[in-house]
Amino acid sequence: MNAQAADNFTDNRHVKLGISCEMCHGKDNAVPYPTIDQCKNCHDPKQVSEKTKDVKPQNPHMSPHYGNMLDCALCHLQHSPTENYCDQCHKFGFKVP
Ligand code: HEC
Ligand code: HEC
Ligand code: HEC
Ligand code: HEC
């Protein structure tokens, strides 16, 4: 990747916190598309789900379909606008940070 392209990826809240590309993508970009496995190294899905248990109309981190193990980046995309994955089928109106 050239410097210009890399630059576009630094506009990311994690990178701004000083977290390196490697923390999600591994050495030599071994993980081009990070999953919950990488997020879990720093965010415990159980704790995340507990924290949002009172969010209305529904806890975004708990569902009968996926429990608390739905792939984080389906909603919290890291280099593009975030998405409300559930609302393909529901109308929860989540604002995903
Ligand atoms: C190297 C550790 C690390 C990894 C890996 C990591 N995060 Fe984070 N994340 C943090 C820290 C530190 C913060 C800032 C403090 C906080 O809000 O917990 C943060 C903040 C966040 C926030 C913002 C919370 C808010 O209030 O705005 C979200 C959402 C998030 N991370 C999702 C993810 C997702 C999704 C992944 C996997 C693709 C991931 N994180 C991987 C450390 C990490
Ligand atoms: C279905 C979409 C969706 C998925 C999948 C998802 N989140 Fe979230 N996340 C949200 C929404 C919506 C919020 C904001 C909740 C609120 O209104 O407080 C949020 C908030 C957060 C926060 C901030 C919580 C706080 O109050 O400090 C963190 C951290 C976070 N998510 C991490 C994760 C991690 C890690 C995963 C994967 C294990 C994940 N999320 C999966 C939708 C999602
Ligand atoms: C917090 C975890 C995290 C960090 C830190 C991170 N990425 Fe990513 N990256 C992801 C995730 C998740 C995806 C999957 C697509 C998305 O979420 O936008 C991704 C996708 C990508 C892609 C593929 C994009 C595409 O659309 O095919 C590139 C290239 C990339 N990241 C480069 C970087 C670079 C360069 C850095 C450091 C400056 C970086 N990333 C830091 C999580 C991260
Ligand atoms: C592909 C479509 C689809 C997606 C995506 C989806 N759901 Fe559902 N969900 C359904 C269907 C269909 C039902 C109804 C099942 C039934 O009534 O037996 C349902 C039922 C539910 C219920 C039971 C209560 C109710 O409202 O009927 C909850 C809670 C729920 N989903 C939460 C979620 C959450 C949270 C997400 C995102 C993390 C999500 N769903 C993503 C299709 C989906």
pLDDT digits (tens, 9 = 90+) for 70-90: 999 999 999 999 999 999 999
State the Cα–Cα distance between residues 36 and 46, nearest whole angstrom.
12
Distance 86 CA to ligand 2 centre (A): 12
In this prediction, residue 9 carries a pLDDT of 76
Confidence of residue 43 (pLDDT cuts 50, 70, 90): very high
Question: Is any ligand 3 atom within 6 A of the Cβ of residue 12?
Answer: yes
Note the ligand closest to the C-alpha atom of 62: 4
- CA–CA gap between residue 45 and residue 26 (Å, rounded): 20
Among the bound ligands, the one closest to the CA of 70: 2
